Amino acid sequence: MSIVNYDIAIDATGLACPLPLLRIRKALAILEEGQVLYATATDPDSLRDIQAFSRITKNDLLESYEKESKYHFIIRKGTRTK
């Protein structure tokens, strides 16, 4: 876990998939290329979903980790997110 400055934070704890991914996608849509999103979720499927989403959309998943029963994601917006 590293210290990263982020531009927006999303709390998707308590939400079942696909809602964490949808919230992250919506937040990334308003960010400029290169800005950073920090998100938390509790649904275990969100780990796989957000990794795949980042890869497909060319966003940079800078970090993902689990701590205190929460999944944490740090994503830098790439060029292809709509």
Q: Which residues are catalytic?
A: 17
Token couple for 38: 């920090």
Rounded CA gap, 58 and 25, in Å? Answer: 12
Coil, strand or helix at 48: helix
Q: Which residue has the tokens 């849509």?
A: 29
Answer whether 16's CB lies under 8 Å from 43's CB.
Answer: yes
